[in-house]
Structure 1
């Protein structure tokens, strides 16, 4: 297996959470969310190089949390940029000679071993892989002051980790930023790359609102 670098992007402000601290630092089952996320990858990819990208203003706070919780899982901290695009670009500067790069949201702490390994395996074969799940709710498209039902079977919900051959991702991130870049796959596609879809998991939720915290606590109990 190629050497893997894991870039964990943790630049959220927590505004939709209504919390005083950024959501990646909120406590979930006795541990800050970001620590759960780092551990998921450390337990699954023991030899991976883990790079946590944080806003400059949060780095000191994070180091204090690591001391407070005696958190010693190996990782390095990288200062992020003003946008997610710039943060991932800076994380790539720390990836070294890794053959594969996995980019993951810091607030997806429940990502399962099977999703990580599936994305890594498929990325080795296809070069650019994202995990997805099918939407379970009905969808409507808003247009011209009204709305229309759409065929949900034609859509997929995108998750992370998104895994790439390192040179594919580095080349893509040499582009100037565009507003259409919503994730790493969109950056690679804009550079002419093709994206392979692999099976994600409905447990791999992104914690954004207070309801997500309650859901995550319940899912941890199930596990």
Structure 2
């Protein structure tokens, strides 16, 4: 039995306003993607890491690895035209007869805690499909209903999302659909139930320049 994590890093960084893809930007002196990979290696030295990266970004990534003497072991898959295609490419690197848990994680979420990673993996061994969530702290308003809604009825969804390997492979054998907003929604299309566990609030997705300021504050 082996466990895997598929780390997706296909962003172009358009909302960051620069030419460098956001997963390669430096936070605290180290590229974001390296921080993310090392967090999962911190969780387990035996975890099989699959990095999904656009083919045209491979050379730049290799240059960064040499510059920062980054020697973590991982398998490399090509990114697809969509996130769905990218995850499917990553899953193809997992043997068809593999048994265990596979996580899917955003490469630009470097601050997921090791406790959350462990919680997701261990819960998935029995629940088969698990996502980390955090409470909504702001007031929510329905645009279509023109009214406030109970924030206690909602949660913010994070990654890593963890699944039984054969289950996620079966889910990604489906055709892509606009309804698929994350891996949990792909699995739920099979009629499966997804279990929620507590995430950590620092596990933000770095998308805008303001997020980078928050990231630096977290590190300091």
CA distance in 1, matches of 2:144, 2:192: 30
Which residues of structure 1 form unaligned runs of 5+?
none
Paired position in structure 2 for 1:60: 59
CA distance in 1, matches of 2:76, 2:63: 13
CA distance in 2, matches of 1:78, 1:98: 20
Paired position in structure 1 for 2:161: 162
CA distance in 2, matches of 1:115, 1:199: 7
Question: Is the contact between residue 120 and residue 197 of structure 2 (CA under 8 Å) also seen in structure 1?
Answer: yes
Question: Is the contact between residue 81 and residue 87 of structure 1 (CA under 8 Å) also seen in structure 2?
Answer: yes
Whether 1:51 aligns to 2:50 is yes
Paired position in structure 1 for 2:125: 124
CA distance in 2, matches of 1:70, 1:219: 24
Whether 1:140 aligns to 2:141 is yes
Paired position in structure 1 for 2:16: 17
1:92-131 alignment, distance < 5 Å:
92-96=91-95, 97-131=98-132
1:95 positional shift:
2.0
1:98 positional shift:
4.7
Question: TM-score when scaled to structure 2?
Answer: 0.97
Post-superposition, which runs of at least 4 consecutive aligned residues in structure 1 deviate over 4 A? Answer: none
Which residues of structure 2 form unaligned runs of 5+?
none
CA distance in 1, matches of 2:213, 2:36: 17
Question: TM-score when scaled to structure 1?
Answer: 0.95
The alignment of Structure 1 onto Structure 2 pairs a total of residues equal to: 218
For 2:66, what is the secondary structure of its paired residue? helix
CA distance in 2, matches of 1:6, 1:45: 11
Question: Is the contact between residue 5 and residue 98 of structure 1 (CA under 8 Å) also seen in structure 2?
Answer: no
Whether 1:216 aligns to 2:215 is yes
Whether 1:186 aligns to 2:185 is yes
CA distance in 1, matches of 2:18, 2:108: 14
CA distance in 1, matches of 2:170, 2:185: 13
Assess, with a 3 A threshold, how the Cα gap between structure 1 residues 14 and 98 changes in structure 2: closer, same or farther: farther
1:79-94 alignment, distance < 5 Å:
79-94=78-93
For 1:16, what is the secondary structure of its paired residue? helix
CA distance in 1, matches of 2:164, 2:219: 32
